[in-house]
Amino acid sequence: MRPEKIFLAIDLGAGSGRGIIGKFDNKKVELEEVNRFDNQVITLFGHDYWNIYDLYEKIKDSIKKAFIKYNKLDGIGIDSWGVDFVFLDRYGNLIGLPNMYRDSRVDGIPEKFYKIIPKEEIYKETGIQFLKLNSLYQIYSFKLDYPEMFNYVDRILFLPDYLNYLLTGEKLNEYTISSTSQMLRADTKKWSDKILKGIGIKSSLFSEVNEPGNKIGNLDSKVREELSIENIEVFQVASHDTASAIVAVPSKGEDWAYLSSGTWSLLGVELDQPLINEDSYLNNYTNEGGAFNKIRFLKNVSGLWLLQESKRIWEENGFKYTYDELISNASKAKPFSGFINTDADIFLKPDNMPQAINEFLERTSQNKISDHFLMVRVILEGLAFKYREVIEVLDKILNKKLKILHIIGGGSKNMLLNQMTADSTGLQVIAGPSEATALGNILLQAKANGLISGLEEAREIVRNSFELKSFVPQDKNIWDSAYIEYKKIKEKAGDLWKN
């Protein structure tokens, strides 16, 4: 029997990051968190940026803590949210801090770019959904505002690519994170000359895309010296956190969908080839790159962002709740007291989320809500209705009836939302694992080590390693009636409903 391997997953979210150890004995994976840290946003002259230097220091701290605890590491892999990037000069130095995807810089930018390349042509080329936060529009905004800056830009790296560069000295663009940019051709996995020409930048700013499940290089000697540790290999995992998470979906057979539930909800299916047609275009479904040569055909839903922001505002006003308290009390609140579109633009980045929710309710002739727990219930019901909408469109586009929904990620621990989702969609919901992203990260490090042969074996290891919970529809008729009311509000809301 081969000795147990110790891998470190650096899993970065928009609000926080973790260093998570995966102990792999060839049959099971055991996870252990060794470090948790905040991810800071800095506001400068009215624009929001990531404090990438602080993030890098915290990653090094995670590596140091993991190495001290186990006296060895068999690998490191980094995953993060998508679309954000850095500009580097020819010496490898940052040109400014990386922009934050929710920054107002991109307001109105997509509409300007569509005059250069029409939306339908962009979609045929990339297969990627239209979100104003996509890298394409961020980069174009810089091109419009600071054209002379591009005389000095030598390379564009997405955030996990850049952090891998700081650890190894290797400048690579990984496939899954690159695919979120809306600048990669869906069919060839190569950078789109049409899109880059439309932006006005050179293809040489990017490298050929690097597939996950391979070695990047060794930890740089200066980093090893600084941390007083031995050599460690750094592996190319699926750098986009959802792509890593999907590797850890404990699925069998067909007719299943996944929901990666966190700040964002990513709901979709796994395909062997991109699916780009009129229906997918009109419904704004995306074809993002996956590990093991898969396509993540999915829809972005706002997710638990509304709940997280509401909790933050309540805390600022002196109301300290745990998430368990909020969910427990919401389960006792009156059902269907309000209907919202969790994806409406009004919820993208409001100064005060509860106020934004009440504004939405008031503008759609619904009663405003003052009770915090009732508002939590309205948020969760809104998500469950949104999931049903997405599933119905998926069934139509795929010409099949999905039967099982696998909910993974931190949101899979929300038992109330899991049951609401089963009731709303009529599907069996299987919840877990909650640490799917870190788990997928670690499994891809194991693949790069030659310890895992493919996706089926990886998912068998997941099923062997974690307890899963099943939810079946209980109040389908009641939810069907409420869904009719939800759609009536949708019709009444008009442009307010749009996202």
Residue 235 three-state SS:
strand
Question: Which residue among 11, 241, 343, 423 is the active-site one?
Answer: 241
The β-bridge partners of 469 are 431
- DSSP letters along 127-165, please? -----TTSHHHHHHHHHHH-GGGGGT--EEEEHHHHHHH
The β-bridge partners of 43 are 48
Q: How far is CA 47 from the centre of its chain?
A: 22
The β-bridge partners of 172 are none
Exposed / middle / buried, residue 173 (Cβ in 10 Å: 0-12, 13-18, 19+): buried
Question: Which whole-number Å values give the CA distances from 74 to 8, 63, 316, in the listed order?
Answer: 8, 12, 43
The structure tokens listed for 190 are 């190569």
Residue 399 three-state SS:
coil
Q: How many CA atoms, within 13 angstroms, populate the side-chain half-sphere of residue 11?
A: 30
Task: Compute the distance between CA of residue 36 and CA of residue 11 in angstroms, rounded to an integer.
Answer: 10
74 annotated active-site: no
Q: How many CA atoms, within 13 angstroms, populate the side-chain half-sphere of residue 277?
A: 8
Residue 103 three-state SS:
coil
Point out the residues that are catalytic: 241
